[in-house]
């Protein structure tokens, strides 16, 4: 092998390198130093499969922290731009972005760029209720507020046990799984868990878990307040860690309970009205004629009301949090409990009958944490 012929041509050098099986073997066969081979490999920019220059001295793998990545994603950046920033292969950037999305961060793709989104846009996804034959039951709850000193975890567990004993396999949760942080002034006085991470870990460990029951949940304003600060969706994190919890989306979701018979789950906004029925009526009236659900379940107001309006079975869903300092100042008294819905179908799967009953707890427990 002639030295000048190898080093004067990129293709010959690359071929010689591959045949030799490494820099040291090539240097030995050419009777030159390892540094000489490195220099020519670097000058010709010969790379391996990960985009690393073969001529460069080996570097330890680049560790990309989530915090660093999120900082750069405050403005739109492409994978190539990020790879250059972190001096690593594009593949590592793609893996880190996927990991952050799975952790609940709202990273949106805008063409060939990615950006951390801090605005919340409900997706209005559609789901199917499991096929349970011609007669089935399901539970509906909301506003468990885990991490609050006023949480009613004992009653929440009791409600799940009642559902289990009645053969219920699906419970829908209309949001505010955790209490959140700094959602309203003075909230820290109502909390025993003071960070989102602590509340998420607590919910993963303590939210009721019973064999045969799946919880399908949307997130609410207390859950999602952290996103406006660039944080991740805590309910998605909880669902990712619990195989018995399915995340249906932010603020709302549609569920087809039976063919042509749908339910709409919503965690609305705004304060309570003088009459409980007013909020329920206004929401049902807001549905367009061809886009009405058959059943409407709304959390957020920690109150109970039901009405049949425009052929819609409408419900305000109670909560599992006793009166907070905030509610006391607002003269609001929450209703604690949940609902059990029973649906009976005809042979052709059309709905024959809808029944419901309340499971209420009239005496709140103190220090239930």
Task: In whole angstroms, give the CA distance from residue 332 to residue 303.
Answer: 9
Q: 116 with 73: CB under 8 angstroms?
A: yes
Q: What is the pLDDT of residue 332?
A: 86
Token pair, residue 192, equals 């025993």
- The CATH number for 126-360, chosen from 3.40.50.720, 1.50.10.10, 3.30.70.270, 3.60.21.10, is 3.60.21.10
364 burial (CB, 10 Å; 0-12 / 13-18 / 19+) is: middle
Q: What is the pLDDT of residue 2?
A: 46
pLDDT per residue as tens digits for the range 200-217: 999 999 999 999 999 999
Q: What is the pLDDT of residue 59?
A: 53
Output the tens digit of pLDDT for each of the chain's 369 residues.
Answer: 445 567 878 888 888 888 888 787 887 788 777 777 877 888 878 876 555 666 655 555 567 888 899 999 999 999 998 988 888 888 899 999 999 988 888 899 999 999 998 887 677 899 999 999 999 999 999 999 999 999 999 999 999 999 999 999 999 999 999 999 999 999 999 999 999 999 999 999 999 999 999 999 999 999 999 998 888 899 999 999 999 999 999 999 999 999 999 999 999 988 766 677 888 999 999 998 788 999 999 999 999 999 999 999 999 999 999 999 889 888 889 999 999 999 999 999 999 999 999 999 999 999 999
Q: What is the pLDDT of residue 1?
A: 43
Phi, psi of 25 (to 5 degrees): -65, -40
Q: What is the pLDDT of residue 306?
A: 96
pLDDT per residue as tens digits for the range 5-39: 678 788 888 888 888 887 878 877 887 777 778 77
Could you tell me the residue ranges of all domains in the chain?
1-59, 66-116, 126-360
Q: What is the pLDDT of residue 52?
A: 64
**Fold designation for 66-116:** Arc Repressor Mutant, subunit A (1.10.10)
């Amino acid at each position: 092998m002639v030295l000048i012929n190898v080093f004067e041509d990129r293709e010959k050098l690359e071929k010689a390198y591959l045949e030799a099986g490494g820099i040291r073997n090539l240097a030995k066969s050419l009777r030159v130093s390892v540094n000489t081979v490195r220099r020519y490999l670097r000058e010709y920019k010969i790379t391996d499969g990960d985009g690393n220059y073969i001529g460069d001295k080996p570097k330890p793998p680049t560790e990309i922290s989530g915090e660093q990545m999120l900082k750069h994603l405050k403005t739109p950046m492409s994978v190539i731009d990020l790879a250059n920033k972190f001096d690593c292969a594009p593949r590592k950037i793609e893996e880190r972005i996927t990991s952050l999305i799975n952790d609940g961060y709202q990273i949106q793709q805008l063409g060939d760029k990615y950006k951390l989104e801090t605005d919340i846009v409900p997706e209005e996804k559609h789901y199917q209720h499991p096929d349970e034959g011609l007669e089935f039951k399901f539970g509906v709850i909301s506003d468990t507020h885990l991490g609050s000193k006023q949480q009613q975890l004992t009653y929440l567990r009791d409600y799940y046990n009642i559902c289990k004993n009645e053969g219920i396999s699906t419970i829908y949760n209309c949001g505010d799984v955790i209490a959140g942080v700094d959602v309203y002034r003075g909230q820290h006085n109502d909390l025993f868990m003071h960070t989102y991470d602590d509340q998420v870990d607590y919910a993963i460990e303590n939210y009721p878990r019973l064999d045969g029951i799946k919880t399908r949940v949307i997130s609410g304003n207390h859950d999602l307040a952290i996103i406006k600060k660039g944080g991740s969706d805590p309910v998605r994190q909880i669902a990712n860690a619990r195989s018995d919890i399915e995340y249906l989306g932010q603020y709302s979701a549609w569920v087809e309970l039976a063919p042509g018979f749908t339910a709409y789950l919503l965690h609305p906004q705004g304060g309570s009205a003088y009459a409980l029925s007013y909020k329920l009526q206004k929401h049902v009236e807001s549905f367009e004629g061809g886009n009405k659900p058959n059943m409407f379940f709304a959390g957020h107001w920690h109150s109970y009301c039901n009405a049949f309006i425009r052929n819609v079975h409408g419900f305000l869903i109670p909560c599992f949090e006793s009166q907070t300092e905030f509610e006391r100042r607002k003269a609001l008294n929450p209703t604690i409990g949940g609902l059990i819905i029973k649906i009976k179908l005809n042979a052709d799967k059309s709905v024959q009958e809808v029944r419901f009953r309340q499971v209420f707890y009239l005496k709140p427990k103190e220090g239930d944490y």
